[in-house]
Structure 1
Amino acid sequence: MSQRHQMEMNESPLGVVARYQQRPPIDLDGIAHALGVRVYQMPLGSGVSGQIMRDKVKGGPSGFAIYVNSSEHPNRRRFTFAHELAHFILHRDLIETGVVDDTMYRSAQLSDHYEVQANRMAADILMPVRLVKVWRVRERDLTRLAMLFGVSAQAMQIRLNGIDTGAVNRAS
């Protein structure tokens, strides 16, 4: 393991995420690499958006691997990727053989509470409030703003509504 990678592995997961949130679109591959998680984009079963699992063979230095359904729209894949990273950051101690998320981001392995947490963190990773506010001043068109962040217009609208109402964490 390189000295740089060892240093990244000692950094807090949220510190790693923050380091990659300097400009849109957020580099999810960089975050995963820094966290020691291997990511595979491949066709998954019908109705499966993604999954995270402990895997000593295919997992990265952390021992975890994320699988993202390559058959889905690129924006959907980015959200799934961020959602699975959120499970790694928040719930890795609860993940035994794996967590499979369906297209509605529901899992038989984790409760709805954990799925809601992962969804919120995925939005925080992809659309940090600080960056959205800065870029919103520069780019007033919702569709172009969403494209800049690599998310759907619907996801960006939800994020903007949350910022406007104060419903999202101001620190993200």
Structure 2
Amino acid sequence: MLGSANFSNRSIQVNRHDDRNRERFTVAHEIGHFFLEHDKYLRSESIVERDLFIETETKDAFNYDRLEYQANLFGSMLLLPEAQFRHAVKVLRRQLNVNDRGFGYIFVDDQPCNYTPYNQILTALSDHFGASKRAIEIRLKRAGLVTDMRGTGSANRLRFPGV
């Protein structure tokens, strides 16, 4: 368990973790539960690692995963504010000479020439915002800033636009 929220005494507990950035996200996530008034549905909430990877909101009337998705989105927006995040990505793309060559603002596949700068972007953003690389990656995807073709074998099928 990474952390928990106790709604009756309005407290958050975060368990020590090897990754300080993960701890920061856990706090932001738990604050999200309070801010979003999830105490209407829960007495307490414990976050486990699998909860951090919920990226889609389901349509069910009540679904625990939906509350987790909302808290994850809140935590992401708290730690990675839209304008600052986009600006930092823009600056890093320029510094690392990552250009849109018709495949996406940031393109990543299994080739080192694409994966290496992508990993450098993740690392730099993680350090800058104090968020895990996984949180950064999810935020990039959610913002539509990355085209991720890793593991698809698509590098051999890609063609340059207009060719």
* Partner residue, 1:12: none
Amino acid at match of 1:92: D
Query: How high is the TM-score relative to the length of structure 2?
Result: 0.58
Asked if 1 retains the 8 angstrom alpha-carbon contact of 2:14 and 2:23, the reply is yes
Amino acid at match of 2:21: N
* Partner residue, 2:45: 99
Higher Cα Rg, which structure: 2
Amino acid at match of 1:158: I
RMSD: 2.2
Larger deviation: 83-92 or 135-144? Answer: 135-144
For 1:29-108, list aligned pairs within 5 A.
48-56=1-9, 64-90=10-36, 91-96=38-43, 98-105=44-51
Q: Distance in 2 between matches of 1:100 and 1:153?
A: 22
Amino acid at match of 1:79: F
**Distance change in 2, residues 1:158/1:88 (3 Å):** same
Provide the secondary structure at the position in 1 that maps to 2:40: coil
Q: What are structure 1's unaligned runs of at least 5 residues?
A: 1-47, 57-63, 167-172
**Distance change in 2, residues 1:135/1:165 (3 Å):** closer
TM superposition outliers: structure 1 runs of 4+ over 3 Å: none
| Deviation of the 1:55 alpha carbon | 4.8
Q: Distance in 1 between matches of 2:49 and 2:133?
A: 18
Percent of residue pairs bearing the same amino acid type: 31
For residues 40-80 of structure 1, the C-alpha deviation after alignment (integer angstroms, 9 at most, x for no partner) is: xxxxxxxx111000354xxxxxxx10001113410110111
Aligned equivalent of 2:129, options 149, 153, 170 = 149
Aligned equivalent of 2:71, options 115, 118, 126 = 118
Amino acid at match of 1:128: P
* Partner residue, 2:142: 162
For residues 136-170 of structure 1, the C-alpha deviation after alignment (integer angstroms, 9 at most, x for no partner) is: 2223341112210001223212212221269xxxx
For 1:5-20, list aligned pairs within 5 A.
none
Amino acid at match of 1:78: R
Q: Distance in 1 between matches of 2:72 and 2:34?
A: 12
* Partner residue, 2:89: 136
**Distance change in 2, residues 1:144/1:121 (3 Å):** same
Q: Distance in 2 between matches of 1:130 and 1:116?
A: 22
Query: How high is the TM-score relative to the length of structure 1?
Result: 0.55
Amino acid at match of 2:48: D
